[in-house]
Amino acid sequence: MNKPAYDLALASIRDSVPEGLRGEFDRQFAARMKSPSTAFILGILLGEFGVDRFYTGQPAAGALKLLAFLCFIFILCACLYRMAVLDEPPVQELLIAVAALIPVAVWSVADQFLIAGAARRRNIVIARGIGDGIR
C-alpha cells in the first residue's frame, strides 16, 4: 500500500469515529501502530530471520523465512564439519548451501521493497479494529 492511499484510508477510518472519541482513537492507534521505518530497518538488520514479518503481524511468513535461513545454516554447518573432521572437500554440500541461500537472499531483498506496505496494511487493520471497538 502506497503512502497516499494509506493516509486516505486512515483518515477515512478516523473520520468515521465520533468526534468526541477521536482522541481515544488516536491514543490507542499510536500505541499499537507499526512503523514502516522500523519494519524497513528490521528487514535490513534481521530480515533473514523473518523478524520484519513477525513485526508486521505475518507470523507464517516470518516463520517460513526463519526456517529457510536455518536450513541454509544447517547445510553450511554440515559443509564445515565435513571439511574439518572428514578432510573431504564438500563440493556437493556447498552447491546445496548456495542453492538454499539464493531464495533467502532474493526474498530478503524483495522484502525491502514490500515491508513498508505490509506495515501500512497492518496499520489499517489495527485502525479498523480500534474504530469498531470505540463506536
Rg of the chain over Cα atoms, rounded to whole angstroms, equals 21
Mean pLDDT of 14-38: 95
Domain that includes residue 123, residue range: 3-134
Q: 88 near 20, Cβ under 8 Å?
A: no
Question: CB burial class (10 A; 0-12, 13-18, 19+) of residue 73?
Answer: middle
**26-58 as b/e, with b when 16 or more CB fall inside 10 Å?**
eebbeeebbebebbbebbeebbbbbbbbbbbbb
pTM: 0.84
Q: Grid coordinates in use for 17?
A: 469515529
Q: 14 near 131, Cβ under 8 Å?
A: yes
pLDDT at 42 exceeding the cut of 80: yes
CA distance 33 to 128: 12
Q: pLDDT digits over 59-115, tens only?
A: 999 999 999 899 888 888 888 888 888 777 778 878 888 888 888 889 889 999 999
Type and span of the H or E element at 27: helix 22-32
State residue 125's pLDDT score.
Answer: 96
State residue 111's pLDDT score.
Answer: 92
The rounded percent of the chain whose pLDDT value lies above 90 is 67
76: left (phi over 0), alpha (psi -120 to 50) or beta: alpha
Q: 43 near 103, Cβ under 8 Å?
A: no
What's the one-letter identity of residue 81?
Answer: Y
Tally of domains in the chain = 1
